[in-house]
Amino acid sequence: MPRLADLIAPLESSGLADSIRENDLLFPLIESVHVLSICLVVGSILVVDLRLLGIASTNQPVSRVTRAILPLTWSAFVVAVASGSLMFISNATKYLGNGYFIAKLLLIAAAGVNMAIFHVVVARDLPRWDNKTASPLRARLAGGFSILLWIAVVACGRWIGFTMKVG
Amino acid sequence: MSEAVIRDFCQWLAATPLSHAIQTAGWVIPTLQTIHILGVAVIFSSAILVDLRIWRVFQREVPLSDVARRFLPTIWPVLLVLLVTGSLLIIGEPRRSLLNTTFYLKMALLAVALALTGALQWSLSSAPEFWQGGSARRMTGRLAATVSILVWCSILFAGRWIAYTQVG
């Protein structure tokens, strides 16, 4: 099995990675797009989470809130992953050696698992509580976990910048 | 205000005990920035969702005034959180922002964004159907929503750019 380091080496030495490293404008530009898209991911998913917790948007069914919000969340997430990947390849080895970067990836994965569990397990009997202000405990837990995980993702993201000197 | 005055002010601010405390504890600045970004996320998303509703891309089946009432009032208390965390960040590193053109650009853009948001909120609270009254008003609404999206995005860009344009 090839080592991870061997897999990322060609990425890191690619022309694209070179440009991101060398160009004074490119890195801040990509970073700004990254921050902007993460803000949309976090802010929009918060709308869903607060609805699950029965705190906001309670005059709308849960399903209507998720249907309206999640396409925006996913679009922003795609942009965040794309911009994040560009920053990653510019200094892949350094990022992989950064604990906060690894933690951030794991937390995003955990948020994804939380979301999958919500869709597959928690929302199985959604029609029964769709219109109710108070969701069942498992739905409120999903909303609460989501908020905490995304706060931690943002914190790790910020800490990467302070523990790694790039750009 | 001349630059020398701002320079003196920065020097004085950086020498205060509070500034020292923020500078020396390594976790304070990243923590403040994290809270600041989370607040930006809430305000930015709220404003964007209402702008997208004006463009009829988001929840077009819900009246604009309802969408605005749901998202816009959140902006003001969260703005307070941004002012507090932002001020503490400035106290910790006064020169980073106060001697930085990008910071003043960000504040000017913020004033525009808040004026737009306030005007929208006010127009809808006094006349919920206001922006549906005729094609001229609909066009004005869409124009304002587009400007709002662009200005909010520029604020986020400027925020990140402060880190790259600080003088020594």
Is residue A166 pLDDT above 60, yes or no?
no
Range in A17-26, A137-146, B96-105, B147-156 with the lowest mean pLDDT? A17-26
Which pair of tokens denotes residue A92?
């892949």
Task: Enumerate chain B positions whose Cβ falls within 8 A of a Cβ in A.
Answer: 26, 29-31, 33-34, 37-38, 40-46, 48-49, 52, 58-59, 62, 70, 153, 156-157, 159-161, 163-164
Residue ranges in B55-100 assigned as alpha helix (H): 64-92, 94-98
Is residue A152 pLDDT above 80, yes or no?
yes
Mean pLDDT taken over chain A: 93
Which pair of tokens denotes residue A124?
């199985």
Instruction: Write the CA distances from A64 to A51, A70, B43, B50, B57, integer angstroms.
Output: 10, 10, 22, 16, 14
Distance from CA of B1 to the nearest CA of A (A): 30
Q: In terms of Cα–Cα distance, which of A157, A161, A160 is closest to A42?
A: A157
Q: Which domain holds residue A139?
A: 4-163
Is residue A35 pLDDT above 60, yes or no?
yes
Number of structural domains in chain A: 1
User: Could A47 and B58 be called an inter-chain contact, meaning their C-beta atoms sit closer than 8 Å?
Assistant: no
Cβ–Cβ under 8 Å, residues B57 and B48: no
Which pair of tokens denotes residue A100?
């906060």
DSSP class of A112: H
Residues of B whose CB is below 8 A from A158: 30, 33-34, 37
3-state secondary structure at position A76 = helix
Which pair of tokens denotes residue A58?
């309670």
Q: How far, in whole angstroms, is CA A111 from its chain's centroid?
A: 8
| HSE-CB for A92 with a 13 A CA cutoff | 17
- Its ipTM equals 0.93
Task: Enumerate chain A positions whose Cβ falls within 8 A of a Cβ in B.
Answer: 28, 31-32, 35-36, 38-40, 42-44, 46-47, 56-57, 60, 68, 72, 151, 154-155, 158-159, 161-162, 167
